[in-house]
Each structure stands twice: as structure tokens, then as C-alpha cells.
């Protein structure tokens, strides 16, 4: 115990109960167990206690990945404290007197986090380190509407609910939207645009590019590094476009000469770009990525094992096709838009090697009665790889998925699309899922309303909450982004 006393001396005579003249300050630290000296002896001789121990005020922090967090101590003389990114603890500089109260508050949130505070009020009876601050990375769902030519940024709360952050006019009838970990890219017709995603979820226009070969529906995929992407550009070609770290778009190059040649996803291991020929009776094939810096492709290679005599057309979405997590299997939502064939309306499941696609048995999985041009619109795998979710014409489906055989198994359950939405054409859309696999997002292509479906641990999707976006009908694409 630390005590400071004042004795007042005048001509060596002690003046009791006064410290007005010639004060003499005496400091003595009394051990808690030391009974040999009674501190009250000083008071009996005229000493006055003028101070005592002061205490430190602080606590713990978790999840702080951005700068800008500012705290206030909420004491009689409030102190402001700026906390650095990555900090795991904090402590105010000023010590607090005993019996003083505190009420710590967050006066400024960091740029890319949302932080909450607990155990933040009390009385100083000793050093305080029990205050807890937990920060979460800002998560955003971006909604692209083609006809309205807008992107809506919607903030995602910890329970998956949505609130409108901002709306951005794109100025183009973009039919697709992609994400490479830093930039959002949209495109349609002869136009492609990039937007920088800021830590707070807002986006800033970065660059635009006018294409020689206009984009024509189909499908689009980034190479895993995010430095370039491939998009269906016309009936006979697909295009490669580069994007640098500043969002600059460049180096449009066209490939292929097949009838309705549709680009598929880049294989994560072999760096092959699979393509699907439709309506011409040609085999599926692939183009090897010859240059991993520019994305330039080598010559096309026909698939040695033609997976089906009936071509299929996974089109009009950013994730019509998806690989299993181990890269050994490929699943495609076949909308069946094959001129004159009226085929499709199911899911195709295939095994994958570096040089061939081979149909699994069964090859076709029909969530609904197969209907040309209506669906399924898209699919997405659960993060744990045990379930696959499919957007049909009017329903959302959850299926078991075997990571061993790659086969789509039994139906877990299905629910209507948002607002029981159904379409009479192959209007493009897609599904998105959060990082921990507890929330599935789908959008109605007629009303633009977003459905937020819970996902249980056994893959069951729950009745959705509906969030209106006031968008017009047409192609709707979603991107779920947690942090940068």
C-alpha cells in the first residue's frame, strides 16, 4: 500500500492539522502485512493524507484488422485512445483514482470492422483489464441489376440480415459480376468496368474497357490468382481480359471457333479452361493456360471422352459450374439453351482429370421437371463440401454430396425461391453462401427481392427472410464479400 503524507514544520515545531506553512512531504510504502508501523501515527502527529494508489484501465481486443478504432474512458476527465490495427489489448495512459467510475465507449469505428464492447462500466477498486472489445470484418452483399444499370451494396450483419449501404449507377447493361479479392468486375455488351471494394463496403469506380467482341450472355470465371478472367463473348468465341492491382482492364484476346462455345471454370490444379460446345455436336474440350501472368491460352484440345451426345449449355450466371473442393469433380447447371434441341433443365455431374471430363452415373440430376430455357439457373457448394444447393426455375434445392464418389445424393429439402419467384425465360442469376456455411442468398429475377435462407448443420435450408431492393426485373447477380 502506497501512502503520501504531509507534515508541516515551522522552526522545527510541528503544526498539527495544517499544511499551510513549509510543508514536508513524506512518502512511505506500507506492505500489506507490515504491522510494525502504524500509518495513522502520521495523522496523529499532524500529517494529512493527500494521495493514494491510482489504477490502470484497459482490456482485451479481438478481430481488429483495420485502423481507426477510437475509445473514450468515460471517466470524470475523459481520455481518448486510438488503437492500432492488430492490437490484442488496450490501456488508457492516465491512471484512475480509487472509487472513480468509468464508462468506456467506442467513439469511432475502424474503417473495415464493426466492433462491440462489453464489461465497459464500473468503479475503480483496483487495476481493470476485464473490458472486452470484439471486432468483426465488414461483410457486404452486392446486387447487380442489368435493366436498372445499378449495383446495390448491402451490409450483412452477424446473423445474415441485410441493410442498404449504397446504390451505384453503372451506366451499362451489365450481365455479369465477378470478384477477384480486391475488385468487382461487371460486363455486358461491349463494356467492362472494374470497381475497387473499400474496407467499409463501399465501391469506387476504377476503370472501364470497350471490347472488340461484345459479351453475349454465357458464363464468366476468374482464374484463381484474380489477374485475368474469361467470358463468353459471342456465339463462336470467348474472351480473356486482364486486370492489374489497380483495377486497370486490358489485353482483350479472343479464343475458339466453336458453335456457341461457352467457357467453363478454370481448373484449380491443371490450369485448364474447360469449354462447352452447344448445338454443333462437338466434343467438350479445354484450353491450357500457357502464360500464368497474362492468361494467354494454348491451342484448344478436344476432350478425349465426349461426355454426352447431347451438348449442354451452362449459361447466364457467374457460377453455372463449380468444382468439388478437391478439384476431382465438376457440376454444371444446364439451362438447356441449345437452339433447336430443347434439351437441358438439369444438373450435369462429371469427374475431372487434367485432360478429360467423364460423365458420372447418373449424369443428369433433375431438381424439377426438365424444362428447356428455364433452369436450373445456378448452383453452389457448401464450404464443407457435403452439400450442393441449386437454384431451379421456381425453387431452391439442397442435396447431399459425397466427397468420396463425387455423386449428388438424396434431396435434403427444397423451398420456394424468394417470393415464390419463377420465370418464363433463362434470366440469369446465381446463389451465394457465407463463409461458415450458415446462410444462403438467392434473388428473385422478377422483383429483385433477396431471400436469406438459414442452413442447418445437416444441410436443411430454412424459410427465408425477404429483403426488397426495389429493382426492376431482369438479370440479377450476387456477390458475397467478407473483408478485402
CA–CA dist 265, 378 (Å, integer): 13
Please tell me the predicted confidence (pLDDT) of residue 237.
80
- The more confidently predicted of residues 316 and 329 is 329
Handedness of CA 247, 252, 254, 260 (dihedral sign): positive
Handedness of CA 209, 213, 214, 219 (dihedral sign): negative
280: confidence class by pLDDT, cuts 50, 70, 90: low
Is the pLDDT assigned to residue 364 strictly greater than 50?
Answer: yes
| Residue 328 CB neighbour total at 10 angstroms | 16
Within 64-173, strands assigned E span 69-72, 80-83, 89-91, 101-103, 105-108, 113-118, 121-123, 128-137, 139-145, 150-156, 162-169
287 bridge partner residues = 273
CA–CA dist 204, 185 (Å, integer): 12
First-residue to last-residue Cα distance in the chain:
50
The predicted-structure confidence for 34-44, as pLDDT tens digits, reads as follows 444 454 444 44
Is the pLDDT assigned to residue 193 strictly greater than 90?
Answer: yes
- The more confidently predicted of residues 482 and 32 is 482
Percent residues over pLDDT 90 in the chain: 50
The reported pTM is 0.82
DSSP 377-442: -EEEE-TTSSEEEEE-SSEEEEEEE-TTT--EEEEEEEEEPGGG---SS------EE-TTS-EEEE
Give the residue-averaged pLDDT of 28-51: 45
Residue of 425, 421, 419 whose CA lies nearest to 315: 425
Please tell me the predicted confidence (pLDDT) of residue 229.
93
The predicted-structure confidence for 77-104, as pLDDT tens digits, reads as follows 999 999 999 999 999 999 999 999 999 9
Half-sphere exposure of 310 (CA within 13 A, CB side): 15
Please tell me the predicted confidence (pLDDT) of residue 346.
83
Please tell me the predicted confidence (pLDDT) of residue 441.
96
The predicted-structure confidence for 252-275, as pLDDT tens digits, reads as follows 998 876 666 678 888 888 788 888
Contacts of 207 (CB under 8 A, 6+ apart): 193, 194, 246, 247, 248, 249
- Please state the domain extents for the chain: 2-51, 57-136, 138-482
Give the CA distances from residue 289 to residues 104, 160, 263, 295, 300, in Å, rounded to whole numbers and listed in that order: 55, 38, 13, 6, 10
Q: Read off φ and ψ for residue 459, nearest 5 degrees.
A: 85, 5
68: confidence class by pLDDT, cuts 50, 70, 90: very high
For residue 325, give the H/E element and its range. none
CA–CA dist 382, 207 (Å, integer): 33
247: left (phi over 0), alpha (psi -120 to 50) or beta: left
Please tell me the predicted confidence (pLDDT) of residue 334.
79
Give the residue-averaged pLDDT of 414-435: 80
220: confidence class by pLDDT, cuts 50, 70, 90: confident
11-25, 214-228, 462-476: which is most confident: 214-228
| Residue 463 CB neighbour total at 10 angstroms | 10
Q: Say whether 44 sits in a helix, a strand or coil.
A: helix
Average pLDDT, the chain: 82
Q: Say whether 338 sits in a helix, a strand or coil.
A: coil
The answer to whether 451 and 417 have CB atoms below 8 angstroms apart is yes
Give domain 138-482's CATH number out of 3.20.20.70, 1.20.1740.10, 2.130.10.10, 2.40.50.100: 2.130.10.10
| Residue 281 CB neighbour total at 10 angstroms | 11
The answer to whether 150 and 166 have CB atoms below 8 angstroms apart is no
Please tell me the predicted confidence (pLDDT) of residue 142.
95
Give the residue-averaged pLDDT of 465-479: 78
Amino acid at each position: 500500500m502506497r501512502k503520501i503524507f504531509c507534515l508541516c514544520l515551522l522552526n522545527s515545531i510541528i503544526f498539527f492539522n495544517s499544511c499551510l506553512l513549509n510543508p514536508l512531504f513524506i512518502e512511505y510504502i506500507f506492505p500489506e502485512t507490515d504491522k510494525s508501523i502504524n500509518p495513522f501515527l502520521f495523522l496523529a502527529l499532524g500529517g494529512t493524507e493527500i494521495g493514494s494508489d491510482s489504477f490502470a484501465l484497459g482490456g482485451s481486443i479481438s478481430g481488429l484488422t483495420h485502423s481507426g478504432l477510437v475509445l473514450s474512458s468515460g471517466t470524470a476527465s475523459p481520455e481518448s485512445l486510438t488503437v492500432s490495427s492488430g492490437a490484442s489489448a488496450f490501456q488508457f495512459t492516465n491512471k484512475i483514482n480509487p472509487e472513480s467510475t468509468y464508462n468506456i465507449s467506442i467513439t469511432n469505428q475502424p474503417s473495415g470492422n464493426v466492433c462491440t464492447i462489453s464489461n465497459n462500466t464500473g468503479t475503480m477498486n483496483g487495476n481493470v483489464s476485464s473490458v472486452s472489445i470484439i471486432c468483426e470484418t465488414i461483410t457486404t452483399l452486392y446486387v447487380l441489376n442489368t435493366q436498372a444499370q445499378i449495383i446495390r451494396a448491402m451490409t450483412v450483419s452477424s446473423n445474415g440480415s441485410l441493410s442498404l449501404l449504397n446504390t451505384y449507377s453503372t451506366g451499362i447493361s451489365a450481365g455479369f459480376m465477378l470478384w477477384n479479392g480486391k475488385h468487382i468486375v461487371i460486363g455486358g455488351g461491349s463494356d467492362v468496368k472494374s470497381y475497387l471494394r473499400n474496407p467499409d463496403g463501399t465501391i469506387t469506380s476504377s476503370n472501364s474497357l470497350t471490347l472488340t467482341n461484345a459479351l453475349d450472355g454465357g458464363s464468366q470465371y476468374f482464374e484463381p490468382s484474380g489477374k485475368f478472367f474469361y467470358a463468353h463473348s459471342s456465339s463462336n468465341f470467348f474472351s480473356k481480359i486482364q486486370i492489374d492491382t489497380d483495377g486497370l482492364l486490358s489485353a482483350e484476346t479472343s479464343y475458339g471457333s466453336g458453335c456457341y462455345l461457352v467457357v467453363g471454370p478454370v481448373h484449380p490444379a491443371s490450369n485448364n479452361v474447360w469449354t462447352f460446345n452447344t448445338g454443333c455436336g462437338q466434343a467438350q474440350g479445354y484450353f491450357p493456360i500457357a502464360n500464368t501472368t497474362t492468361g494467354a491460352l494454348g491451342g484448344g484440345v478436344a476432350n478425349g471422352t465426349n461426355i454426352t451426345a447431347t451438348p449442354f449449355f451452362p449459361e447466364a450466371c457467374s457460377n453455372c459450374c463449380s468444382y468439388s473442393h478437391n478439384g476431382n469433380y465438376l457440376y454444371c447447371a444446364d439451362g438447356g439453351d441449345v437452339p433447336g434441341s430443347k434439351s437441358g433443365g438439369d444438373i450435369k455431374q462429371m469427374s475431372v482429370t487434367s485432360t478429360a471430363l467423364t460423365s458420372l452415373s447418373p449424369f443428369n440430376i433433375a431438381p424439377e421437371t426438365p424444362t428447356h430455357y428455364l433452369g436450373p439457373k445456378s448452383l453452389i457448394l457448401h464450404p464443407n463440401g457435403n452439400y450442393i444447393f441449386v437454384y431451379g426455375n421456381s425453387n431452391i434445392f439442397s442435396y447431399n454430396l459425397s466427397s468420396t464418389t463425387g455423386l449428388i445424393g438424396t434431396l435434403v429439402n427444397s423451398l420456394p425461391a424468394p417470393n415464390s419467384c419463377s420465370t418464363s425465360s433463362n434470366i440469369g442469376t446465381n446463389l451465394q453462401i457465407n463463409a461458415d456455411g450458415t446462410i444462403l442468398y438467392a434473388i428473385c429475377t422478377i422483383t429483385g427481392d433477396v431471400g436469406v435462407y438459414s442452413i442447418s448443420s445437416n444441410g436443411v435450408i430454412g424459410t427465408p427472410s425477404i429483403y426488397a431492393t426495389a429493382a426492376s426485373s431482369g438479370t440479377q447477380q450476387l456477390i458475397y464479400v467478407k473483408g478485402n
